[in-house]
Amino acid sequence: MESRCLSSKATPPPFVIPIFIAHQGCPHQCLFCNQRRITGVVEGLVGPREVEETIRTQLAWPRRYPAAPVQVAFYGGSFTGLARERQEELLGAVQPFLAAGQVQELRLSTRPDYVTPEIAGFLREYGVRIVELGAQSLDDRVLAASGRGHTVAQVRTAVACLKEAGLLVGLQLMLGLPGESTAMALASARQAVALEPDLVRLYPCLVVSGSPLAELYRQGRYQPLGLPQAVALAGRLWVIFKAHRIAVVRMGLQPSVSLEKAVLAGPYHPAFGELVLSRLFFKKVRAALFARLPQQPHRLCLARADESIYRGRGNGNVKRLAALGLLEGVETVFSASQPRQTVLLTPLVP
């Protein structure tokens, strides 16, 4: 029995204006990285004029949630590794929009070893609100095996500097890096929790053409996670962060044509995050349905926004629940008033 939808009202996510500064400012070569392939940016430096034009153009676009805050986000590369003048130019280009109230948030990402108290203070002066650190792992063995060129201690120091300056901190973690076991990934997540970040992003490690990892893969010296394995592992990490009220704002890389062309191997899926949430939600609904009195009809109430993760790809979750006989006598309702990722099962009075 399905399904009835009630009206909905949700907090709108920020309208993000992305600006890619691929590899600019980064003299490193992490094994998994070929930023040019991933972002599709091959030539040319992004300058203040491009920043202004991008913001102007995107501010003119129709928005799904006009009341949502506008966030300018510098992606890729290592922002604070750029020459200070370039940082000032790029951040300076955003200032008029911040002052005019057309942009409310400024976010950037960088390496942990490119953050000092002075740098954090500088970012704060320019109105930066969120700094995401490419921590990737909180295990020194994994960092070394991945050619990251920084340590866990440097991640800790960077987080402390940013917090001290009053900035919000994001941690980016990668799953399935060279030398990382499942136990190490889980331990890394617990270490990340101890740093109390404001948000986290989880990315499965992919083999991208042109990266040193691609060569290791060709030589049979690196084996990426399979998709089911990566989805299960990301789910376990999501549960750890959720238990500590730390928002996992993204799982999986932003899909793009250039990324899809560049991926040679690894757990790539354009809706990776949805696969993870769908798997977790399936387990939750299944547990609730197992616990009910089977003879009595029930109403299964879920958040309307959770309908797609409840159904799963190709309605797969519903088919699995039905095959287990768990949907017999169950009326499924999708409601706007039901909190996200919760399950309410109530007996139906005949």
CB atoms closer than 10 angstroms to residue 322 = 13
- Residue closer to ligand SF4, measured from CB, 28 or 156: 28
Q: How far apart are CA 347 and CA 299, in angstroms?
A: 6
What minimum distance in Å lies between the beta carbon of 48 and ligand SF4? Answer: 21
Report the residue number, 174 or 246, with the smaller CB distance to ligand SF4. Answer: 174
> Which residue's CB is nearer to ligand SF4, number 35 or number 338?
35
Distance in Å, CB of 78 to ligand SF4, minimum: 5
- Report how far Cα 269 is from the mean position of its chain's Cα atoms: 13
Helix locations, 28-108, DSSP H: 35-39, 48-59, 84-99
Q: How far is the CB of 342 from ligand SF4 (least distance, A)?
A: 37
Classified as helix, coil or strand, 274 is helix
Q: Could you tell me where the beta strands, DSSP code E, fall in the chain?
A: 4-5, 15-20, 70-75, 105-110, 130-136, 168-175, 199-204, 207-208, 247-251, 263-265, 298-303, 330-335, 343-347
DSSP codes joined into one string, 171-212: EEEEES-TT--HHHHHHHHHHHHHT--SEEEEEE--EETTSH
Residues from 17 through 76 that contact ligand SF4 (CB under 6 A)? 23, 26, 28-30, 33, 35
Each residue 71-110 as x (binds ligand SF4 by CB under 6 A) or -, in order, gives: ------xx--------------------------------
SS3 assignment, position 6: coil
Token readout for 237 is 């990490």
From 36, 111, 129, 311, residue interacting with ligand SF4 (rule: CB under 6 A):
111
Residues 347, 162: Cα–Cα separation, whole Å? 50
**C-beta of 263: minimal distance to ligand SF4 in Å?**
16
Closer to ligand SF4 at the Cβ: 149 or 270?
A: 149
The CB-of-143 to ligand SF4 minimum distance in angstroms stands at 11
Residue 267 near ligand SF4 by CB under 6 A? no
- Burial of residue 307, with CB atoms counted within 10 A of its CB: 0-12 exposed, 13-18 middle, 19 or more buried: middle
User: Smallest gap, in angstroms, from Cβ of residue 26 to ligand SF4?
Assistant: 3
> Smallest gap, in angstroms, from Cβ of residue 50 to ligand SF4?
19
Binding site for ligand SF4 (CB under 6 A): 23, 26, 28-30, 33, 35, 77-78, 111, 134
